[in-house]
Chain A
């Protein structure tokens, strides 16, 4: 008797729960996120997820998209390709997500991209910088919500060509990112300014603990400028060694992510001044109403200023929402058709998703690090905007790479 009543209660509660949940009325739009949320990369990835959540919460509060709520599931890949891929499979097979998103790890992004191509699930890449994602390995179901090594290389070259340097030295991580950035900058620079000369190159292992011997060796060669292709957490000890040796005061150097908040904030006032860097976003530039509004709402929600990752999360959410609205129903193929060539407004101005390769055409901001009175960390100054169409890799090049 007792047992029967218990079962009855359980059933009743279960039914009530089923009826009350929004899923019972209209299935929510599910987004699966796989990214590295532990260890050093979380400095970058938390901003992506937080900004994404901010936009999604606003939309859900206003009634959702096509009458449906957006729901997302975030999984920690711990920077491991096998684990992240297993999580992506779990999200696609068991959670039945409509869209995949994420990852700062290029190898994992390419693996998930391959999975999504087979499963026909749109994949919004946030932060992985390999140009292969929308280049040689691009396909109908993959979208890049951030700049890539080809764009950074072109932007770096455009900016450096405007300066009077002739003799260059290249130094970087002996790893795909380092070689891709350095190669991108150098090949573009040679095209724009054929007179430049390469004095030499240094390559160190990823996670190199001490950069001092590399810097002293470079300084003794007396180049006019140095292209530093180091990324992620290695930026911090590199800039530290640059400050200790007075590198920046002797030879100007360019380092793609040097001016980003996530790089400069941990260093505080110890960061070297005068380092040239490129970024997609500064919370203090451009000084437009749209950017100010974004910074204000992000700060109100999380108590910190948004770094570049926040822009990627915001842009991903906006494209998804507009894509579904334009498609008019939840249909993957119509959604992708709607996205191709779509334009949205963002904190950095209007952005277009290029129809051919699904790459967001971000403008790049080139700035120089400098101290600002009253601030506890350095900021970018003398910011030059390089428009998105100028830094995008040519469609012809991508076609050639894909044909290979």
Chain B
């Protein structure tokens, strides 16, 4: 069988669109991880758990809202905010006491957080998987290039650029964004300027975790919401951050594009071995750019 001979241009374009919609989720999650990594210098292993909590919260809120469109929009906003609130409590209550400690300590702390969050989810939502439908107007599919394309994926395609623009404005046009970028480069200097670095860290951590929650909320209607979705996403998110350049948000965008597109196109052209495609891409990137594609701020 090998390379399938059926690949038409229309099928290829459509598959690229499917890949781009998946990229949206990957970008949102990875950019949050990268933001925290860049400014706080913490590889937040619990990032995937916050993504999972975001998905479970969305499920509960949608159920609460009766499954209609209004409930979905409400959940899409409230679930990431809930995750942000949780991360705020964790940052102010625990994490902020550890910044002066050595790196390994922080790494262990976020690992412990991942285990705690995993059990928390099991205690609140149980071990069963959950599933809910897209809001009515995003159900079903439309024809693009003569092939069916799910409406919800179109919606994701629209959300991706919006989040990217939002992040650009945040880091370049707001005071907190500028301070955060400065703190990423030289935190002593920022402190010497009389800025409370601790609060900068808190806000960046909360924004990063909000993005994890948003990713979870957006992905929730398309798949099983289940234990273990945290592990799956955190591995992909770290790979994306690594190939993009540690701590660089635009690197996360580039990495997510590479990961999402090689995955989708691999499935089309060589479906028997599609699983390896994105990982092959990671290997190729790291062979040629061991420090990632864009400038790492580490």
Contacts and interface: CB of A to CB of B under 8 A. Distances in A.
Contact of A219 (B19, B140, B148, B152): B148
Interface in B1-34: 1, 4, 6-8, 10-11, 14-15, 18-19, 21-22
B22 A210 contact: yes
Given A216-B149, A233-B224, A205 B275 contact: yes
B174 interface: no
Contacts of A214: 267, 271, 274
A244 interface: yes
A217 B15 contact: yes
A176 interface: no
A207 B272 CA distance: 17
A270 interface: yes
Interface in A5-49: 38-40, 42-43
A266 B272 contact: no
Given A212-B18, A213-B19, A220-B14, A200 B222 contact: no
Given A202-B267, A244-B139, A270-B133, A216 B223 contact: no
B147 to A, nearest CB: 6
A334 interface: no
Given A209-B229, A246-B141, A217 B267 contact: yes
A245 interface: yes
Interface stretch (B124-132, B161-169, B199-207): B124-132
B249 to A, nearest CB: 24
A196 interface: no
B248 interface: no
A199 interface: yes
Contacts of A187: none
B254 to A, nearest CB: 20
Contacts of A221: 4, 6
Given A213-B18, A220-B268, A245-B150, A43 B274 contact: no
A222 interface: yes
Contact of B129 (A40, A201, A250): A40
Contacts of B11: 216-217, 220
Nearest to B142: A246
Interface string B114-131: 000000000000011101
B49 to A, nearest CB: 16
B22 A213 contact: yes
A233 B271 contact: no
B222 A213 contact: no
A237 B6 contact: no
Interface string A370-401: 00000000000000000000000000000000
A90 interface: no
A200 B6 contact: yes
Nearest to A249: B148
Contacts of A203: 271-275
Q: Which of A39, A171, A216, A240 has the most CB of B within 10 A?
A: A216
Contacts of B153: 212, 244
Interface in A161-211: 171, 174, 198-205, 207, 209-210
B232 A207 contact: yes
A214 to B, nearest CB: 6
B22 A237 contact: no
Q: Which of A210, A234, A241 has the most CB of B within 10 A?
A: A210
B228 interface: yes
A267 interface: yes
Contacts of A217: 11, 15, 267-268, 271
A244 B152 contact: yes
B271 A222 contact: no
A266 B131 contact: yes
A15 B141 CA distance: 72
B127 A39 contact: yes
A201 B14 CA distance: 19
B232 to A, nearest CB: 6
Contacts of A210: 22, 219, 222-223
Interface string B63-84: 0000000000000000000000
B131 A236 contact: yes
Given A214-B271, A245-B148, A207 B228 contact: yes
Contact of B131 (A42, A202, A216, A267): A267
B274 A202 contact: yes
A196 B127 CA distance: 42
B227 A213 contact: no
A246 B4 CA distance: 23
Contacts of A174: 275
12 contacts: A212-B18, A213-B268, A216-B14, A216-B147, A217-B15, A217-B267, A237-B224, A244-B134, A244-B141, A250-B148, A266-B129, A268-B133
Interface of B: 1, 4, 6-8, 10-11, 14-15, 18-19, 21-22, 127-129, 131, 133-134, 139-141, 147-153, 219, 222-224, 226-229, 232, 263-264, 267-268, 271-275
Closest 6 CB pairs of A and B: A220-B11, A202-B271, A244-B150, A217-B268, A221-B6, A213-B264
Given A213-B19, A233-B129, A270-B133, 18 more contacts: A40-B127, A198-B1, A202-B271, A203-B273, A210-B22, A210-B223, A212-B18, A212-B153, A213-B18, A213-B264, A217-B267, A220-B147, A222-B6, A233-B226, A236-B131, A237-B223, A240-B222, A244-B222
